[in-house]
Amino acid sequence: MGVGYPKTIDAHRLGQGPGNEQGASKRRAKLRKFFGVSLAAAAVGVCAVSSADATTSGSVSGTPEKPRVQVIDIRLKNEQHAETDLGPAGPSLGDFNSFSGRAIRDGREVGLGAGSCKTVHIEGDKATTQCVITVEIGRGSVTMQSLAPKGGSSLEMAITGGTGAYAGARGTAHYWAIGTPDECMRVRLLP
């Protein structure tokens, strides 16, 4: 349905009947104002829709599609680990540990994961490390880093880049069950 117009128009209602010239003039002015405001509102609506379409990708149906986050689950098989105690015996600034292991996805090995964590802050018996890790995931690698409490069992890291299929990667990586045979990571790559 659309906007309908009457088939017959009553001349008296429009102010065109005898003695109604002044009323007709006022009605015409109101109609012009109404149509002018309606056209202006329609123009603003078209601009708003056009600018929204320019900033979002749409599907064939015209419905905007949301960008998808790529999720990659990896099991880590730890193979090598070493701790280096620098300076005085016990926890101190500059101490670090290095580690590496196999990255396994869908039951098959897809690459090597390796990294190191360096002690950057000590407060009482708590040490904070800065960790940098690179993991090969088939067609490329993903690099990540974060601050982490030493000895934690889980860790959230920022993805800082990548190579190959993951060049320019950004997102997060979440590790859990760190240092156990069940260690896993979930990579969430942003579009």
Which of the pair, 162 or 2, is modelled with greater confidence? 162
**Residues of the domain holding 31:** 1-66
Domain shared by 88 and 56, yes or no? no
The pLDDT tens digits for 113-162 are 999 999 999 999 899 999 999 999 989 999 999 999 998 999 999 999 99
Domain boundary among 44, 66, 88: 66
The CATH number of residue 107's host domain is 2.40.480.10
pLDDT-derived band at 20, boundaries 50, 70, 90: low
Task: Please say whether the beta carbons of 127 and 85 come within 8 A.
Answer: no
Quote the pTM value. 0.65
| Secondary structure (DSSP) of 19-48 | T-HHHHHHHHHHHHHHHHHHHHHHHHHHHH
Domain shared by 62 and 74, yes or no? no
Q: How many CA atoms lie within 13 A of 42 on its CB side?
A: 6
Number of domains in the chain: 2
Domain boundary among 34, 66, 98: 66
